[in-house]
Structure 1
Amino acid sequence: MNEAFISHVVTARNLRQVFPAPGKNTPDICAIQDLNIAIPSGQLTALVGPDGAGKTTLMRLIAGLYKPSAGSLEVLGIDVAKHPQQIQDRISYMPQRFGLYEDLSIQENLNLYADLHGVPPDVRKERFARLLAITDLSQFTQRPAGKLSGGMKQKLGLACTLVRSPELLLLDEPSVGVDPLSRRDLWEIIQQLVAEENLSVMISTAYMDEAERCAEVYVMYEGQVLKQGKPHELSEQVRGLTWQAQPPDGMKARILQSHLLDLPEYITDAVPKGDMVRFISTAQHPKLPAEYLPAYTQVTAREPELEDAFMLFLHQAQQQSNASLSETDASPKNQLPIQAEQTIVTETMTLGREQAPVIRVKDLVRKFGDFTAVASTSFDVQRGEIFGLLGPNGAGKTTTFRMLCGLLPASSGTLEVAGMNLRYARAEARKKIGYVSQKFALYSNLTVMDNLKFFGGAYGLSGKKLTQQIDHALHQFELKPDAKSGDLPNGFKQRLSMAAALLHQPEIVFLDEPTSGIDPLARRSFWYTIGELANQGITIIITTHFMEEAEYCDRIAIQDAGKLLALGTPKQVRLQAGLAQAHDMNSAFIAIVEQARRA
């Protein structure tokens, strides 16, 4: 069937996908439940939703990798259940972990995928030249894939996916783990392909600003479509519920955020944004009564965005799932907690000023042979501070991070952590440190309880103390002790990693891109926990590619090519970029890096 006669690239009717239970006494898993969708051809369509919503399962069904358990699914007018190979011959699919061959060069990877897809030799030259040009990889064709930055790997993965011209392109979270510059470049490539080749693209994403670029958005939850429509149509459904609050002088935005989230009858969601807190009121109480706000807090209405709609839809769905919650749990608290929290933070900040910094970095250098990964970097971090390390892929922030953790020695310079010089007392300093790696680093074949027992023992805990700390961690992070760690959704894997890192009550916690690959709802929950830890006086050092998360930090540092480009509060960094009024850290980050590269 010619693509010109296909009005919809994907049509599903009462689609179901059931996977066998992992154990004898557990029910089968229904990943897709009676799904009905009709996706027009020639457009960019987004799938968004929390972990476990069914996005990846739907992608794999469309790609012909699963046979539907029930219902019907047509792709390019072809029945998936009957003719999966016909579909695979006409589409391209880029999964979350695209399989590049790291020992092969960029050109050799392209050749290999062209061989696998049977691309004729006479077509390759022109196709390769175009793909290398739009991905800006032309001058690196002989570089091994394993030596590429994260952003370059993603662009090469996309190029390999497109070595043949597909009728439908499926992209499963293609921008996870890449910096804002690489993410912008990736989207320019995708939008160029849609415009110039009339390509139909389906993309799943954890970034709502990416979903806003799409013609249509499907919000998924527990295997079903909650809402669908054009981004602006979905945003309009929360009009009248979106606000921003200016905290009173001396109060951090995250403290006001914490207070607002303690008012679930009135508040659906709240996040720091610049010096403000953006929040969504509930449909039942569109306007928050003034008596539930700290004195001198200024509240103004703001335009709704897609992320507001996404959060409202998910909260409404969760409320329906958790209808058994008691009314007492949902009742608003009085204003006393905000005063108590403010006192805690004020004391913590005062303590940090009176004492020496918990981390002191001066003229830090790290070389690998002739290559300088970190060049003469200096900064201090105070007790109870959330300090963000930001930078493009390959900027040197991971190297800096590993030196701060005591995992990598410095070539020169001074590095003190928890009052100890890491040149001479790395082992002693690590006892006061908790570490959460970017990739899940616990034992996947062990239960949650077994992992906590193992890591508690590794930190020197035993007996009653270990039991108490594990019980506290299970409660704090809402973890089931008998759950197999490897089967947990990404958000719960990160909770388990955090729980293990905090068992020995460290003074400093290092978080290496802890929210990479998890959905906005899980990110909110994770950052709420981080804020609570900082309020207790624990110092947080974090790397992230989500620029919205930089707003949670007290101060941030931006690195590129091993050099420190910016250091200060989020507001100070936006001022440096000339974007103080935009309240847009993503734009500020890109501006600062590009200004430095042009210099």
Structure 2
Amino acid sequence: MAETGGSKPLEVRDLHKTFARGKGRVEALRGISFDLEPGSVNALLGPDGAGKTTLIRLATGVMAPDRGTVTVLGMDSVKEARDIQAAIGYMPQRFGLYEDLTVQENLDLYADLQGVGREVRGERYQALMDMTNLAPFTGRLAGRLSGGMKQKLGLACSLLKTPRFLLLDEPTVGVDPLSRRELWSIVDALVRKDNITVLVSTAYLDEAARCDRVFILQDGDLIGQGTPDSFIGQAQGRTWRVTPGTTPRVVQSRLFGKPEIADATLESGRVRVVTRETALPETLFSNAEALDPKSVAPVFEDGFMLLLNRDAEAEAPALNVSAVHGRGDGTAIRVTGLERRFGDFYAVKGLEFSVKRGEIFGLLGPNGAGKSTTFRMLCGLLPATGGTLEVGGLNLRRAAAKARKNLGYMAQKFSLYGQLSVRENLDFFSKVYGLSGPRREERVQWALQELDLANEADATSGELPFGFRQRLSLACALMHEPDILFLDEPTSGVDPLARRQFWARINSLAEQGVTVVVTTHFMEEAEYCDRMLIMMAGELLAQGTPDEIRKYAGKDGDATIEEAFIALVEEHRARQKEA
């Protein structure tokens, strides 16, 4: 093994990597170069397909570059790949766990793979289990852990031998805000204490803002690097907060499509705007939809979006549907006393809520709260064991098959046929929904055009970047023009720009009368909901409009839904401990 003392943890020089995709080739990385400093925590950002995972895999030595070099702890990633893999810690996407093994068996397997001696395992296991609060669950199958617990077990497995360099590939995808906070407390407590260098790819910009340095990739190029403060400085004088005169998400969607705007997001019931120039355009807020623009201090996300969105098309990606959907005060979904038992365990207990037609309704809660179970019952995929469920005016206990004809469902995980092309998936699902002849071809062409998939029509869907697969999943769910659309964590793992474009499409659907029910772990996305409920341990904690939910944060001034969410969950946990 090469001498690693005094070497930089990572040195990348003129790195190139291409992959075959369909009949062509894609440049995943195009001549990037940078270094990491010892003991630093570094964020790797960029849109889907930017090259983040490719870079991390090259750094672990599991693949070789086409050109250029990667040096890890003084070792060449091609010539000394095995030595690198023995020296680093690596947590891949989706945690890299063996779900049919227990927590303890996963630890033992990773200890064997990493060469951790049996004489030190007991002490190391105990320290990691105490830090991750997994000690009571060592006998549980990894596949039966919640998302947050899987996340912490994956991190524990990557830290078994206290590596000098730790690579984390989107470690917080699909987990709730409390679990994200717990993971970063582990990083702060253990990684910084032991002077471990970290490279973490993430879709959460608040996570990047707490790192020492940030590296931004786009289309295989390194388009920006520096401290979080350096990106904040680039947005100075360009950030504003607007008080809407109507529904905030409608104003946000309209502003996001203007050429003068680099970004528009929802924040505590108002719209946060980043302008491309430092001067506020005089005509930008000239109508009653948006009032009283005020200058506000920039944050890291503003600078990131200003850089990433500098060449983006101005027009917001609205989504037009041809069917006339129900509007007004009608009720699309009514849930009363809903229960779902698995043996003696209640996954959902006594849940009650309703959703109006044309409304965006959010289901929020920590991992293991019962959201997915509720979601599956609403879609008619899982029978309730108690209570009533009416969807589209039909009782799911008596007419589940008929009700499903008016529903669209987009699963959290990519559930289409990866070996088929984009067009073949659209053809297949249109047939499943009973479309045929000219009508089917009309809907396929609609999907290709409206979801910007025409250039990828013949590409194998399983090889598409995540953002394109997400659009294809949404297109398949909308082929039969459903009245009610169910979205199960639709933006999990999707970059910030793609999330904004996705919500522009969902907003346009709701404006045309489609009822939308969504689960999400991005609390800022809950601002797009007209109403929402927060649940935990299968029971309702709170429900209401975003303004009503924010009051649970228990603070004066501007509160966020994430702060309210954390306050509600922690209060519930405190009550459980006292009981």
Q: TM (normalized to structure 1)?
A: 0.91
The residue type equivalent to 2:147 in the other structure is G
Whether contact under 8 Å (1:515, 1:523) holds in the other structure is yes
Indicate which of 225, 230, 233 corresponds to 2:227: 230
1:33 Cα deviation from its structure 2 partner: 1.0
Say if 2:248 is the partner of 1:253. yes
Whether contact under 8 Å (1:509, 1:539) holds in the other structure is yes
Indicate which of 52, 74, 86 corresponds to 1:77: 74
Distance 1:230 1:291, change over 3 A: closer
Q: Deviations over 1:399-452 (max 9, x none)?
A: 111111111111111111101111101011101100000011111111111111
Indicate which of 499, 505, 520 corresponds to 1:529: 505
The residue type equivalent to 2:262 in the other structure is T
1:197 match: secondary structure: coil
1:387 match: secondary structure: strand
Indicate which of 543, 549, 552 corresponds to 1:576: 552
1:209 match: secondary structure: helix
The residue type equivalent to 1:368 in the other structure is F
1:10 Cα deviation from its structure 2 partner: 0.9
Say if 2:373 is the partner of 1:399. yes
Deviates more, 1:64-73 or 1:379-388: 64-73
Whether contact under 8 Å (1:571, 1:580) holds in the other structure is no
Of all paired residues, the percent bearing the same amino acid is 51
Indicate which of 88, 98, 102 corresponds to 1:101: 98
Corresponding residue for 2:473?
Answer: 497
Q: Matches of 1:174 and 1:436 in 2, distance apart?
A: 23
Say if 2:558 is the partner of 1:589. no
1:288 Cα deviation from its structure 2 partner: 2.2
Corresponding residue for 2:275?
Answer: 281
Q: Matches of 2:497 and 2:556 in 1, distance apart?
A: 27
Whether contact under 8 Å (1:579, 1:588) holds in the other structure is no
Q: Deviations over 1:154-174 (max 9, x none)?
A: 111111111111110000000
Whether contact under 8 Å (2:325, 2:483) holds in the other structure is no
The residue type equivalent to 1:253 in the other structure is P
Corresponding residue for 1:86?
Answer: 83
Distance 1:272 1:291, change over 3 A: closer
The residue type equivalent to 1:410 in the other structure is A
The residue type equivalent to 1:550 in the other structure is A
The residue type equivalent to 1:65 in the other structure is V
The residue type equivalent to 1:483 in the other structure is A
- 1:415-564 equivalent positions in 2, closer than 5 A: 415-480=389-454, 481-564=457-540
Corresponding residue for 1:409?
Answer: 383
1:303 match: secondary structure: coil
Whether contact under 8 Å (2:4, 2:75) holds in the other structure is no
1:291 Cα deviation from its structure 2 partner: 5.8
Deviates more, 1:386-395 or 1:105-114: 105-114
Q: Matches of 1:89 and 1:54 in 2, distance apart?
A: 24
CA RMSD of aligned residues (A): 1.9
Deviates more, 1:68-77 or 1:214-223: 68-77
1:272 match: secondary structure: strand
The residue type equivalent to 2:481 in the other structure is Q
2:398 match: secondary structure: coil
- 1:136-151 equivalent positions in 2, closer than 5 A: 136-151=133-148
Corresponding residue for 1:214?
Answer: 211
Whether contact under 8 Å (1:3, 1:167) holds in the other structure is no
Q: Matches of 1:188 and 1:367 in 2, distance apart?
A: 34
Q: Matches of 1:505 and 1:72 in 2, distance apart?
A: 50
Deviates more, 1:380-389 or 1:571-580: 571-580
1:352 Cα deviation from its structure 2 partner: 3.0
Say if 2:294 is the partner of 1:300. yes
Q: Matches of 1:117 and 1:402 in 2, distance apart?
A: 39
Say if 2:243 is the partner of 1:269. no
Corresponding residue for 2:321?
Answer: none
Corresponding residue for 2:10?
Answer: 10
The residue type equivalent to 1:306 in the other structure is F
Corresponding residue for 1:45?
Answer: 42
1:111 Cα deviation from its structure 2 partner: 1.0
Q: Matches of 2:481 and 2:386 in 1, distance apart?
A: 30
1:41 match: secondary structure: coil
The residue type equivalent to 1:378 in the other structure is E
Deviates more, 1:112-121 or 1:418-427: 112-121
Corresponding residue for 1:371?
Answer: 345
The residue type equivalent to 1:143 in the other structure is R
Corresponding residue for 1:340?
Answer: none
Q: Matches of 1:482 and 1:292 in 2, distance apart?
A: 42
Q: Matches of 1:91 and 1:540 in 2, distance apart?
A: 44
Q: Matches of 2:511 and 2:435 in 1, distance apart?
A: 25
Q: Matches of 1:449 and 1:72 in 2, distance apart?
A: 39
The residue type equivalent to 1:415 in the other structure is L
Q: Matches of 2:164 and 2:40 in 1, distance apart?
A: 11
Corresponding residue for 1:388?
Answer: 362
Say if 2:306 is the partner of 1:312. yes
Q: Matches of 1:425 and 1:46 in 2, distance apart?
A: 49
Q: Matches of 2:279 and 2:75 in 1, distance apart?
A: 47
Q: Matches of 2:45 and 2:169 in 1, distance apart?
A: 11
The residue type equivalent to 2:16 in the other structure is R
Moved over 3 A (4+): 1-4, 290-293
Whether contact under 8 Å (1:273, 1:583) holds in the other structure is no
1:196 match: secondary structure: coil
Distance 1:372 1:580, change over 3 A: farther
1:576 Cα deviation from its structure 2 partner: 2.1
1:581 Cα deviation from its structure 2 partner: 2.6
Whether contact under 8 Å (2:552, 2:567) holds in the other structure is no
Q: Matches of 1:98 and 1:417 in 2, distance apart?
A: 36
Corresponding residue for 2:149?
Answer: 152
Give aligned pairs, total: 565
Q: Deviations over 1:34-76 (max 9, x none)?
A: 1110110101011000011111111111111122221222111
Q: Deviations over 1:505-529 (max 9, x none)?
A: 1110000011111111111111110
- Residue ranges of structure 2 left out of the alignment (5+ in a row): 319-323
Deviates more, 1:288-297 or 1:361-370: 288-297
- Residue ranges of structure 1 left out of the alignment (5+ in a row): 323-328, 338-346
